[in-house]
């Protein structure tokens, strides 16, 4: 049987592909726990500089597999705390950039996953829908946190209440993705973007991610203190010396050397 999360590494880019194609990669526990584990493994692997999460086939992720809910031996609260919440925390806490490469429909918790990446790249035919209210649930897996910060309270409420489908043009306009690429070249375009990111200074990006995530819930005062603390860690790293030396020598910096 095929694994529910496929792993591939090329040029410092680890691609994790959700692999339940016939169900638009709807999430069962094996997929959620497997993805979290694969992210942790990518974090620990020095060969990996950037992680991409994408879906096999025509879907990105259709959210919770609705075939798996009834007869479950966990409450909703327990289930979220056991599966989705550690996944979202792992993405945001990962010391490496995570790209969510939204190749197709992202629904429910799949929409939350699409929003959780540090960089969100869409195929033109991708679509996001906050389907939770279709089955009379509340948005979870971080959507109540991510979406209003991106589109404001009122648009978030509308998208959640009506479960409207957001296509690539609207996603670009609303700030739900950084770029939308033609379906035909999507996988190569994502790899090229990821390789650009992989060539950037890994330590500085790790600290930048840490600073931004802290600032999302902090005051300006706290953010200034955090910047001052993390700048020391960046400034003491060889990458900084390489960047400054390259600038003075009028050459491109090499942040990928060991």
Half-sphere exposure of 161 (CA within 13 A, CB side): 6
68 close to 82: Cβ distance less than 8 angstroms? no
Q: Virtual CA dihedral for 95, 91, 103, 112, nearest 10 degrees? A: -150
Position among 81, 135, 236, 244 found at the interface with ligand T3D (CB under 6 A): 135
Q: Side-chain half-sphere of 58: how many Cα atoms within 13 Å?
A: 3
Binding-site member from 79, 120, 206, 209 for ligand T3D (CB under 6 A)? 79
- In the bound complex, what is the minimum distance in angstroms from residue 3's beta carbon to ligand T3D? 19
| 109 in contact with ligand T3D (CB under 6 A) | yes
Nearer to ligand T3D, 176 or 207 (CB): 176
Q: Considering the rule CB under 6 A, would residue 102 count as an interface residue with ligand T3D?
A: no
User: By CB under 6 A, how many residues form the interface with ligand T3D?
Assistant: 24
Place of tokens 């948005």: 139
Rule CB under 6 A: is residue 116 a binding residue for ligand T3D? no
CB nearer to ligand T3D: give 97 or 117. 117
Q: Which is nearer to ligand T3D, 46 or 67 (CB)?
A: 67
Closer to ligand T3D by CB, 67 or 71: give it: 67
What strands, in cross-sheet order, belong to the sheet with 13-18? 5-10, 13-18, 50-55, 98-102, 119-123, 179-181
Q: Region of 2 please: left (phi>0), alpha (psi -120 to 50) or beta.
A: beta
Indicate the residue among 28 and 40 with the shorter CB distance to ligand T3D.
28
Q: Which of 76, 153, 238, 247 binds ligand T3D (CB under 6 A)?
A: 76
Which of 65, 121, 190, 194 is in the footprint of ligand T3D by CB under 6 A?
65
- Among the residue ranges 91-99, 104-112, 195-203, 219-227, the one whose residues contact ligand T3D (CB under 6 A): 104-112
Question: From CA 159, how far away is CA 133, in angstroms rounded?
Answer: 10
Q: By C-beta, is 137 or 172 nearer to ligand T3D?
A: 137
Please identify, among the stretches 34-42, 130-138, 213-221, 242-250, the one whose residues bind ligand T3D according to the rule CB under 6 A: 130-138
The answer to the question of residue 24 lying near ligand T3D (CB under 6 A) is: yes
């Amino acid at each position: 049987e095929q694994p529910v999360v496929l792993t591939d590494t090329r040029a410092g880019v680890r691609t994790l592909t959700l692999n339940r194609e016939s169900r638009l990669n709807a999430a069962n526990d094996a997929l959620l726990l497997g993805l979290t584990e694969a992210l942790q493994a990518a974090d620990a692997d020095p060969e990996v500089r950037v992680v991409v999460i994408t879906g096999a086939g025509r879907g990105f992720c259709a959210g919770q597999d609705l075939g798996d809910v009834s007869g479950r031996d966990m409450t909703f609260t327990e289930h979220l705390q056991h599966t989705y919440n550690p996944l979202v925390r792992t993405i945001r806490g990962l010391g490496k950039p995570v790209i969510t490469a939204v190749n197709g429909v992202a629904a429910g918790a799949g929409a939350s996953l699409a929003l959780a990446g540090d960089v969100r790249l869409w195929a033109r035919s991708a679509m996001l829908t906050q389907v939770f209210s279709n089955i009379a649930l509340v948005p979870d897996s971080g959507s109540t946190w991510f979406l209003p910060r991106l589109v404001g309270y009122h648009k978030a409420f509308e998208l959640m209440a009506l479960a409207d489908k957001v296509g690539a043009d609207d996603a670009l306009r609303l700030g739900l993705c950084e770029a939308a690429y033609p379906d035909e070249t999507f996988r190569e375009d994502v790899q090229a973007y990821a390789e650009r990111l992989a060539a950037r200074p890994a330590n500085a990006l790790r600290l930048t991610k840490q600073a931004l995530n802290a600032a999302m819930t902090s005051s300006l005062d706290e953010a200034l203190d955090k910047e001052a603390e993390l700048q020391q860690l960046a400034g003491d790293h060889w990458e900084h010396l390489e960047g400054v030396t390259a600038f003075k020598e009028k050459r491109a910096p090499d942040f990928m050397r060991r």
